[in-house]
Chain A
Amino acid sequence: SQTIHQWPATLVQPVGSPLSLECTVEGTSNPNLYWYRQAAGRGLQLLFYSVGIGQISSEVPQNLSASRPQDRQFILSSKKLLLSDSGFYLCAWSQRTTEQYFGPGTRLTVT
């Protein structure tokens, strides 16, 4: 069966510090991968998605970036965090147009 992992589960970072969130998927190959952000009490905002290694599509211009160095690994990064980057970050995978399956999420607080 397929499993999706995210780490860390929680993170507190000062403004201006770098960020690296990791997502890995097990039990499937060549998945579509997605990064979402959910601000407190709000809906989900798609940040990036990837249909293959090295292929990243950005949905919202911002100080975040994503990379997919391996088939089942998706990384969200920032060189300098802003207060507005605080939120709940969710990674998801799917096989083409089927349903997306979400990871447990990372709660990021920028102080």
Chain B
Amino acid sequence: AQKVTQAQTEISVVEKEDVTLDCVYETRDTTYYLFWYKQPPSGELVFLIRRNSFDEQNEISGRYSWNFQKSTSSFNFTITASQVVDSAVYFCALSTSGTYKYIFGTGTRLKVLA
């Protein structure tokens, strides 16, 4: 069975703090893809990153960084020096080779307080 778990329902931080959003996935497939999306209050989901199962290299994009560890089946997302504009719901998702469907986690609501 395939599953994505985002155990943190809601996180509140003060601006400029670093915050890590956890994502744990389950799949028996050896080829799969992991994604992170941001859903701001406007509602539209914004694609942030895709990582395939053969690429465990961590990635940094500005204040965002992602840590992919196959040994723990995790794909965590860290925001450095958080800002109020980072307040949103963040979703982690999984898809496997040969399917067109995503398995979404339940999302983590991040509140960044000024």
Contact = CB atoms under 8 A, between A and B. Distances in A.
User: Does B bind A?
Assistant: yes
Interface of A: 32, 34, 42-44, 46, 49, 51, 59, 88, 90, 92, 94, 96-105, 107
Q: Is the interface of A mostly helix, strand, loop or mixed?
A: strand
Interface residues of B, number: 22
Contacts of B97: 97
B45 interface: yes
**Most chain A CB within a 10 A radius of its CB, from B42, B43, B47, B95:** B43
A32 B44 CA distance: 18
Top 3 nearest A-B pairs (CB, nearest first) are A102-B45, A43-B106, A105-B43
A99 to B, nearest CB: 5
A51 B102 CA distance: 14
Interface of B: 33, 35, 37, 42-47, 50, 91, 95, 97-102, 104-107
B44 A49 contact: no
Given A90-B43, A100-B35, A105-B43, 9 more contacts: A44-B91, A46-B102, A88-B43, A97-B95, A97-B97, A98-B50, A100-B102, A102-B47, A104-B42
A94 B107 contact: no
Contacts of A92: 45
Contacts of B105: 43
A88 B45 CA distance: 12
B44 A44 contact: no
B20 to A, nearest CB: 20
B79 to A, nearest CB: 20
A92 B91 CA distance: 15
Nearest to B105: A43
A59 B50 CA distance: 24
